[in-house]
Amino acid sequence: MAYEFKLPDLGEGLTEGEIVKWLVKVGDSIEEGQAFVQVETDKAVIEIPSPRKGVVLQILAAEGGTVQVGQVILVIGEAGEKIEPAVEPREVGKPASVGVVGELEEAVEEVEERVPEKAPETPGVTVEVLATPAVRKLAREMKVDLGTIKRSGPHGRVTKEDVRKAAEEGEEKPPKAEIKAARKYDMYGFVERITLRGMRKTIARAMVKSKSTAPHVTAMDEADITPLVALREKEKERAAKQGIHLTYLPFVIKAVVAGLREHPYANASLDDENGEIILKKYFNIGVAVDTKDGLMVPVVKNAKEKSILKLADELTKLSEKARSRTIDLADLKGGTFTITNYGAVGGIYGSPIINYPEVAILGLGKILEKPVVVNGKIEIRKMLPISLSFDHRVVDGAEAARFMNTIIDHLEDPDLILLEG
């Protein structure tokens, strides 16, 4: 029996997906658990496995097309199995029709009935209308008067098509959509139009929701990370021998976790419906990754329990998966706080948008050499600009400043990070 595969909900709130690539074609044998299609969801390209063994009978969505959750995209069956579209209920004595889901249990239609119907155009005069019970039932459902419609069946019989046509003519048809030609130029020169879809559409939606829901405030400061730069330079070769690329991000994550432990309201979300602030007792740190399709935010789970080298290794692997769009959806969920490093592309300060429903996000600028007064003397120091955007409904300015001070203290004195464990 043929099986219709419908696009499942592959993520929270998913309503549609885009077919990136079919990994099978009609006629191919397919094993249970075998990936047969790549679908782009909110932020990842996912390979969907087959729920059963069989032969691909139909592919019902084109590559590059958008399909809705619950829409049939593939039909799997046995070799040589034919697929026939569902048909009108059969006449007496005819075998049941077979569709893609097997035999249809259809009610046998009765013989035509002659039932008087009152013709509205001639009050008091009745006419006989030939129609089967199934047609009469359809007319009742579609609120069509059988005595007022044109009949195309033999001997003046009313058919289902007559009923449907009458229902359509009786409806107030909406005006046809006006077709507009998309010009490839404006008054200043040529332009290119790119459809907002896929991950970029998801990012746009998320940014609007965050900015329209949480009142953003951004505080800025800088940390003297000269000792941290020296420590990283000393340890990066040792890390490289273990196949680990050591950056500053693992140290920043540890400093952030220390700050979140001291200032738990920055590690929270707001339940508007129940009027509650939810303080998270775990520390899942999201790190924004720049990909060709837009920013993705893989989440490092239980960051408090992981060493600097473990964090560095995990960050590298998550970033590679994000850029290749092979990351698991589970690695994009569950964050409690986010870090974005625009300094990697030369930025200094910014006002990052909160990764809703989190309540704060830390932005890192590029490390600058600056003259700084140290113990009454001017020295050239390595300075890290940082920007903290926070939801003012949950975090006040003073608390945000204290949180930033804790982060700065740990970045300026890496020994504190080691003591935190």
- Please give the Cα distance from 306 to 299 (Å, whole number): 13
Cα-based angle 54, 55, 61 (whole degrees, multiple of 5): 115
Q: Are 204 and 353 in contact (CB under 8 A)?
A: no
- Please give the Cα distance from 146 to 129 (Å, whole number): 7
Which listed residue (155, 216, 245, 392) is catalytic? 392
Short-list 413, 58, 53, 76, CA closest to 254: 413
- DSSP for 343-378 reads GGGT-----PPP-TTBSEEEEE---EEEEEEETTEE
Q: Are 74 and 56 in contact (CB under 8 A)?
A: yes
Q: Are 121 and 111 in contact (CB under 8 A)?
A: no
Cis omega (within 30 of 0) for bond into 357: yes
Burial call 72-88: b when 16+ CB within 10 Å, e when fewer: bbbbbbeeeeeeeeeee
Short-list 225, 269, 265, CA closest to 249: 225
> Is residue 392 annotated as a catalytic residue, yes or no?
yes
> Dmax of the chain from CA atoms?
111
Nearby residues of 173 by Cβ (< 8 Å), 6 or more positions away? none
Q: Are 385 and 348 in contact (CB under 8 A)?
A: yes
Tokens (6 digits) for 103: 């035999």
Report the DSSP beta bridge partners of residue 388: 219, 362
Short-list 248, 249, 262, 267, CA closest to 337: 267
Tokens (6 digits) for 279: 């303080």
- Please give the Cα distance from 49 to 32 (Å, whole number): 7
Report the DSSP beta bridge partners of residue 408: none
- Please give the Cα distance from 265 to 155 (Å, whole number): 79
Q: Which residues are catalytic?
A: 392
